[in-house]
Copies of this chain bind each other. A is one copy, B any other.
């Protein structure tokens, strides 16, 4: 099968058909109609075989994840997803692999009414580039730089589960199937927190998505806001899978990476609103610390003892 057949095969499945897509796949450019009075939020992410995913990963799950990690960036901005472009570098024109990949990609795209509007396909070492485009009301976008001393530090879901999934996949860890499966799902089919991001507009003072490890990504939020924080490690959410790992769970929760949860801050007098947010978004929210004027991140136990961490996060070039 040639390049153009491959591309055509992807194109024919470019659902949904949005009214704001004037010209979709197949011309030199896609032509899009941004809604009046909204800002455009865009994010480009790369996924490279052996770096961001294991070469033998199920292609359906890879297609899902390639879009999910990008939608997670829109979620962190509080934006409503709209359009996506896809750049696929494939070692060979493998029709069944591509069909499964696109099935997973479209399964998630359909859920958020995101339309594939363009892209590129080429031969080379397996890699994926995805750019998402979303809309957000002026002044309502969530950014990293708005945290203020006194704000509560909150996180969605259970950071660390994806890292457990990776350790399981690499054979570095064993868990009973009932504890292993949810962690592998978190690794391979993360749920972008789009509804949470929308619910946090007007509430969160700062937000980002956790992709390289909670402690490291928190550092970016603190740097952007010009503040510090104390994080209560005993307040971190623990699923049954993490509890089964005992003390090792802490490092995975703080430095594991691949979580795609939202880390955000809210003013202390609005803590009560978290419950409604969690219900609207369908995900647990946990207060794990407090923003402070003094720079840097301090890790403490509930009783006040300091806690140290060997690894701080994932560096693609380290």
Contact = CB atoms under 8 A, between A and B. Distances in A.
Interface in A231-275: none
Interface stretch (A23-31, A104-112, A167-175, A182-190): A23-31
A155 interface: no
B316 A122 contact: yes
Contacts of A133: 42
A224 interface: yes
A29 B3 contact: no
Residue of A6, A27, A85, A318 contacting most chain B CB atoms (<10 Å): A27
Nearest to A133: B42
A317 B123 contact: yes
Contact of A124 (B39, B43, B50): B50
B28 A76 contact: yes
A303 interface: no
Contacts of A48: 89, 122-125
A29 B317 contact: no
A224 B4 CA distance: 14
A310 interface: no
Contact of A317 (B27, B74, B92): B92
A136 interface: yes
Main secondary structure on chain A at its contact with chain B?
strand
Given A31-B39, A316-B122, A44 B134 contact: no
B2 A122 contact: no
A143 B76 CA distance: 35
Interface string A132-152: 011010000101110000000
B27 A316 contact: no
Contact of A318 (B2, B43, B83, B120): B2
Contact of A43 (B39, B93, B118, B224): B118
Copies of this chain, complex-wide, total 2
Contacts of A141: 23, 29, 31
Interface in A20-59: 22-23, 26-34, 36, 39-46, 48-52
A260 to B, nearest CB: 11
A87 interface: yes
Given A48-B122, A48-B124, A318-B3, A131 B134 contact: no
A30 B41 contact: yes
A143 B42 contact: no
Interface of A: 1-4, 6, 22-23, 26-34, 36, 39-46, 48-52, 73-74, 76-77, 79, 83, 85-87, 89-90, 92-93, 117-125, 127, 129, 131, 133-134, 136, 141, 143-145, 207-209, 224, 315-318
Given A4-B315, A31-B39, 13 more contacts: A22-B39, A28-B77, A29-B41, A29-B77, A29-B141, A30-B42, A32-B40, A44-B86, A44-B120, A46-B89, A46-B124, A48-B122, A87-B129
21 contacts: A1-B317, A2-B315, A3-B315, A22-B39, A27-B143, A27-B224, A28-B43, A28-B144, A28-B207, A29-B76, A29-B77, A30-B41, A31-B39, A33-B39, A44-B118, A45-B120, A46-B122, A48-B122, A48-B124, A49-B124, A122-B316
